[in-house]
Amino acid sequence: MNLGMPEIIIIAIVVLILFGGKKLPEFMRGVGKGVHDFKKGLDGVEEEIKKDINTDPVDTPKQDSEQNEKDKTEDAH
C-alpha cells in the first residue's frame, strides 16, 4: 500500500478538521508516546528471547531419551 502526496494531504486535512489546531499537538504527542512504549515492549520481548536462547538447555533424564529410542525402533518394525 503506497501513499502518495495527494493522499497524505487529504489525510492531514481530515485530521486537522477533526481535531482542530489546538488538539493536534496533544494528539500527536500521545501517538508518539504510544509508539515509544510499543517499541520499548518489543525490545523487552526480544531481550527475553535472546536470554532464553543463550541459557544452557536443561538436560533430559536418560530414561526419557532411552524410552524415545525404544519407541522409534518399535515403530520401524
Q: Could you read off the pLDDT of 32-60 as tens digits, one per residue? A: 999 999 999 999 988 888 888 888 665 55
Q: Grid coordinates representing 48?
A: 527475553
Measured distance between the N- and C-terminal CA atoms of the chain, rounded to whole angstroms: 55
Question: Band of the pLDDT at 28, cuts 50, 70, 90?
Answer: confident
The pTM score is 0.46
Cα distance between residue 22 and residue 59, in whole Å:
61
Which is more confidently placed, 31 or 77? 31
CB 27 within 8 A of CB 19: yes
Backbone angles phi and psi of 57, in degrees to 5: -70, 150
